[in-house]
Structure formats: C-alpha cells, structure tokens
Amino acid sequence: MNSKRDSACLALIRQARAIVDADGIGEAALDKIKALLVKLAGKPLFPRTDFAMPDAQARNHVLALEDGDGMGLYLTISLPGKEAAPHDHGIWCVNAAISGREAHRFYRRTDDGSREGFATVEQIGQVMVAPGQGMAMTDHAIHATEVIGDEPAIGLALYGYALVRFPSVVWFHPEFSSVRVGASRRAEAA
C-alpha cells in the first residue's frame, strides 16, 4: 500500500466527479479530466516494482473505485506489440501515459447498423499516448490500440464505470466488415 498514491488517486476520482457533475461528459469536460490524469501520471507515485507485469498481452491494476455505480481508475500495462481491434466500450474513457507509447486510432461507423453482424468503419483520427500526453473518448466512441516500440505501455485509465460493471463492448473487424457484441458485465456485478 502506498498512502500517498492512494490519496492522489482518490483525489483524482473526486475531481473527475466534480467535473462530470458540473459539465457532463462531453469533450470539453473529458479534456479537463485528461489534463488532471496526465498530471497524475507524471508524478513519481507509480514505480514499476509496485505492479506485477502481465504474463501475456496486458494487465490492469485497480487504483481507486468510486462508490456505487461509479468510475474506476486503473494502472494499465500492455506489452510491446499488443493490439486491440476497433471497439466501443459503451462508456467514456480517459488515458494518460506513465511510460511507453500506445497508438489510439479513432473510427466512425459508416453503415446504418441495420444488418446483424455487419458493420463498416473508417478511421477518422489518431493520438499517440506517451509520457506527458493522454487521450479522451466520449461514450460510444470507437478506437483501436497498439503498443509501439520495444517497451511496455504503462499508463493510467479512468473509465465512467469500473471494469467489472462495463456495458457490452462492441468489437469491429474492418477487414471482414463484421461486428460482434460482447456480454455486458453490468448484470453480473449487480
């Protein structure tokens, strides 16, 4: 346990809650939260020795959870080469890097959603999350991730819900023009 880290993480959750309550969860509010998360990620509160590395791909370490059905703050570790296909978390997310680099590519769905299992998406932007930089995405934004370089991407991730209470994640597979919906964790956590 690191009381200084725990206090800083709980303070971040309180600050984020105040922003969401005052400003909602639009881009401007999430940019304010991103600035706070980037600042926290730059502090020497997250030594690598305090967090187990993943055996494969990635690992999330819980840092702070808001009471009730609230936000979750995590330290994330993704190994070099880890990729995630385009997906929609169904909830907003803000990330900031401690070390390493992770590319986030953003997409827009281009079909009308009328055919089950069919979807087309096009890339509309990209952000490199590296030390001193972060990214924010609103509810139902679509993004893909890829760890760049030879070092793990270690960062902070704040979600509108704790991971155990995530809604259905929607996965897009552009090369096959397909989509699949993962199971919601919200019912299981209730």
Q: What pLDDT does 185 receive? A: 67
Question: Residue 115, exposed/middle/buried by CB under 10 A (0-12, 13-18, 19+)?
Answer: exposed
Q: What pLDDT does 187 receive? A: 58
Contacts of 16 (CB under 8 A, 6+ apart): 33, 36, 71, 94, 158
Residue 67 belongs to what H/E stretch?
none
Q: What pLDDT does 186 receive? A: 63
C-alpha to C-alpha distance for 69 and 76, rounded to whole angstroms: 21
In three-state secondary structure terms, 83 is strand
**Are 87 and 63 a contacting pair, CB within 8 Å?**
no
Pairing of strands 72-78, 101-109: unpaired
In three-state secondary structure terms, 184 is coil
Q: What pLDDT does 3 receive? A: 93
Q: What pLDDT does 151 receive? A: 96
CATH class belonging to 3-189: mainly beta
C-alpha to C-alpha distance for 190 and 178, rounded to whole angstroms: 31
**Are 131 and 55 a contacting pair, CB within 8 Å?**
no
Q: What pLDDT does 55 receive? A: 85
Show me where the domains of the chain are located.
3-189
Q: Rounded to two decimals, what is the model's pTM?
A: 0.92
Per-residue pLDDT of the chain (190 residues; tens, 9 = 90+): 589 999 999 999 999 999 999 999 999 999 999 999 999 999 999 999 999 999 888 899 999 999 888 999 999 999 999 999 999 988 999 999 999 999 999 999 999 999 999 999 999 999 999 999 999 999 999 999 999 999 999 999 999 998 888 778 899 999 999 999 887 766 555 5
- Bridge partners of 172? 179
Query: Rounded to 5 degrees, what are φ and ψ at 115?
Result: -105, 120
